[in-house]
Amino acid sequence: MALFLFVKGTLEIMVPEWILEKRHNGEQACVWTLGISLYFLLFQQYPFRSKADIINDCSQLLFTSSTDEQAYRTMRQCLNRIGYRRPKLNNLLQLSWLR
């Protein structure tokens, strides 16, 4: 008999609520993934390397003086550990720097 381990998503983009509660909201997870993508575009690396990194405070995230402040602020909002505190997709579409 074979034993299979099913992992829900890729570790680098896994949402904290999945790790903690084994559930997630689709829009909130999408916004989280946008934050991960933005981080990767800005720094050419993923922000988290373990589940512990994901569920801990994101205040340790990399920031350099060359990082665009609006992009960085948006990324930090998208990577809020608490799903309902992340911006709504419609609100992100209104950001002038994304147009």
pLDDT for the residue 6? 42
The answer to whether position 3 is within a domain reads no
The answer to whether position 4 is within a domain reads no
- What's the pLDDT band for 96 if we cut at 50, 70, 90? confident
pLDDT for the residue 70? 87
Residue 48 sits in a domain of what CATH number?
A: 1.10.510.10
Dihedral angle, C-alpha 78, 80, 85, 86, nearest 10 °? 10
Over residues 34-78, the pLDDT tens digits come to 999 998 988 888 888 889 989 886 666 766 656 688 888 899 899
pLDDT for the residue 17? 92
The answer to whether position 5 is within a domain reads no
Total tally of structural domains belonging to the chain: 1
Q: Please state the pTM of the whole predicted model.
A: 0.83
The answer to whether position 68 is within a domain reads yes
pLDDT for the residue 8? 55
**Containing structural domain, residue 22:** 12-98
